[in-house]
């Protein structure tokens, strides 16, 4: 009861996030919950940073003790061995970076075009814009994210999406349109953003790609057209908007007013969502990239959409199907092993 009263008091001091359309009481509670989550996350991050510092200091002391406990000749060998390992790691990272650049460069000419529409900054608060921007980068720590992570920050979504695309064997060619104003300022703060191998447009996609208007397809859950395949000639647009519950149907309305095609992912054909079918930017992009790799919508959805957003029956059914496939795979492996070992029998 006391916690609820504290929440009520905190709600009274929350700033207005969208002057164009005031937040409902329920939305304010969600905002407060998100703020508490962010504060707790920041605290955990600080603790992890401190622990990392302690671990580094411990390893340094252990290394110094190891060197001090061995003869001079062996000490020199240990130091050289360590230098050699570091050099190998650096060379491997450099090689991986070059391969990534090559893949992304090739995608500019032959990859599936995917556009992130950033023309909604006037409907979002600075925190929501930052939330969007971070959904699209190649920062090292992002490699530790699990593929099913639900990245709520919009800027984290953009950061994550770029990193994820770069790791794909056959990446798509990503576009950012509407990179002006506060949105552009947030993007410029991202480490290495100027070196990203993507298309960056201050103009809207409808202006920048006017000559390809017939190939523009806005992906929106409100469309009546179901997307069965990805057409290499099409440029698929994903709306970069946080908290769409405040702006229901806005992407569909925008596409209709511009006279461009719309489509929705065939989520309903493969699973039931426990809530709406609205996905984050990074989830939508990851699904498209996964489909380009597997040509299988069901696999793409189940590998990307968090389990908590799926109905329990669908989740259980998928696990059972995976179990049957694994059993079949094991049976096939056993058969192959028997065939291989057969000549040696007798």
Band (pLDDT 50/70/90 cuts) for residue 152 is very low
pLDDT score recorded for residue 282: 84
Is there a contact between 119 and 239 (Cβ–Cβ < 8 Å)? no
pLDDT band at residue 213 using 50, 70 and 90 as cut-offs: very high
Q: Which of 55-59, 143-147, 261-265, 316-320 has the lowest mean pLDDT?
A: 143-147
- pLDDT, residue 158, reads 78
- Class of domain 95-265 as given by CATH: alpha beta
Indicate left, alpha or beta for 87 from its phi (over 0: left) and psi (-120 to 50: alpha): alpha
Report the pLDDT value the prediction gives residue 143, as an integer from 0 to 100: 37
Integer Cα distance of 204 and 321 in angstroms: 43
Q: What is the mean pLDDT of the chain?
A: 77
> Which residue, 265, 285, 310, 49, is CA-closest to 174?
285
280 with 157: CB under 8 angstroms?
yes
DSSP bridge partners of 239: 117
pLDDT tens for residues 3-43? 545 544 544 444 444 444 577 787 788 778 878 887 888 89
pLDDT tens-digit map of 318-335: 545 555 544 454 444 443
Residue carrying structure tokens 């930017």: 281
Q: What's the rounded Cα separation, in Å, for the pair 169 and 96? A: 12
* Mean pLDDT confidence for 33-55: 88
The predicted structure's pLDDT at residue 160: 81
* Lowest mean pLDDT across 76-85, 150-159, 194-203: 150-159
134 and 156 Cβ atoms separated by less than 8 Å? yes
Nearest by Cα to 167 from 284, 276, 341, 289: 289
Q: Report if pTM > 0.75.
A: no
Write the CA distances from 289 to 177, 236, 247, 292, 319, integer angstroms.
Answer: 19, 12, 27, 5, 22
Strand order in 235-239's β-sheet?
199-201, 173-177, 113-117, 235-239, 216-219, 261-263
List, for residues 79-138, the tens digit of each pLDDT value: 999 999 999 999 999 999 899 999 999 999 999 999 999 887 666 766 666 656 655 544
Residue with tokens 């057969």: 342
The continuous run of DSSP H or E covering 200 comes out as: strand 199-201
C-beta pairs of 248-252 under 8 Å, 24+ apart in sequence: 249/222, 250/120, 250/123, 251/117, 251/218, 251/220, 251/222, 252/218, 252/220, 252/222, 252/223
Q: Are 187 and 206 in contact (CB under 8 A)?
A: no
Closest CA to 174 of 103, 219, 116, 232: 116
Domain residue limits, the chain? 95-265
Residues, the chain: 346
Sign of CA dihedral 238, 239, 242, 247: negative
The two structure tokens encoding residue 227 = 């997307």
């Amino acid at each position: 009861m006391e916690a609820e009263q504290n929440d009520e008091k905190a709600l009274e001091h929350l700033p207005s996030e969208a002057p164009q359309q005031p937040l409902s009481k329920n939305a304010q509670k969600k905002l407060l919950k998100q703020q508490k989550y962010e504060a707790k996350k920041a605290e955990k991050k600080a603790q992890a940073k401190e622990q990392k510092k302690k671990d580094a200091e411990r390893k340094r002391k252990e290394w110094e003790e190891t060197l001090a406990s061995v003869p001079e000749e062996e000490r020199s060998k240990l130091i050289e061995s360590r230098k050699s390992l570091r050099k190998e790691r650096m060379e491997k990272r450099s090689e991986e970076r070059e391969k990534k650049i090559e893949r992304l460069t090739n995608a500019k000419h032959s990859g599936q075009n995917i556009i992130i529409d950033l023309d909604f900054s006037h409907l979002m608060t600075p925190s929501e814009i930052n939330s969007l921007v971070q959904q699209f980068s190649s920062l090292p720590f992002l490699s530790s994210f699990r593929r099913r992570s639900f990245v709520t920050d919009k800027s984290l979504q953009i950061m994550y999406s770029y990193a994820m695309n770069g790791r794909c064997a056959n990446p798509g060619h990503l576009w950012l349109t509407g990179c002006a104003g506060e949105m552009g300022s947030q993007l410029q703060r991202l480490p290495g953003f100027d070196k990203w191998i993507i298309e960056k447009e201050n103009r809207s996609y409808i202006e920048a790609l006017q000559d390809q208007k017939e190939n523009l397809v806005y992906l929106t859950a409100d469309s009546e057209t179901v997307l069965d395949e990805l057409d290499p000639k099409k440029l698929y647009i994903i709306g970069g908007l946080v908290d769409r519950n405040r702006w229901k149907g806005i992407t569909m309305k925008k596409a209709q007013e511009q006279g461009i095609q719309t489509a929705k992912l065939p989520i309903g054909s493969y699973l039931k969502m426990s809530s709406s079918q609205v996905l984050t930017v990074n989830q939508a992009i990851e699904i498209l990239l996964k489909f380009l790799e597997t040509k299988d919508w069901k696999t793409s959805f189940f590998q990307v959409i968090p389990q908590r957003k799926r109905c329990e029956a669908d989740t259980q059914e998928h696990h059972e199907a995976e179990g049957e496939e694994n059993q079949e795979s094991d049976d096939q492996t056993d058969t192959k092993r028997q065939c291989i070992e057969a000549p040696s029998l007798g």
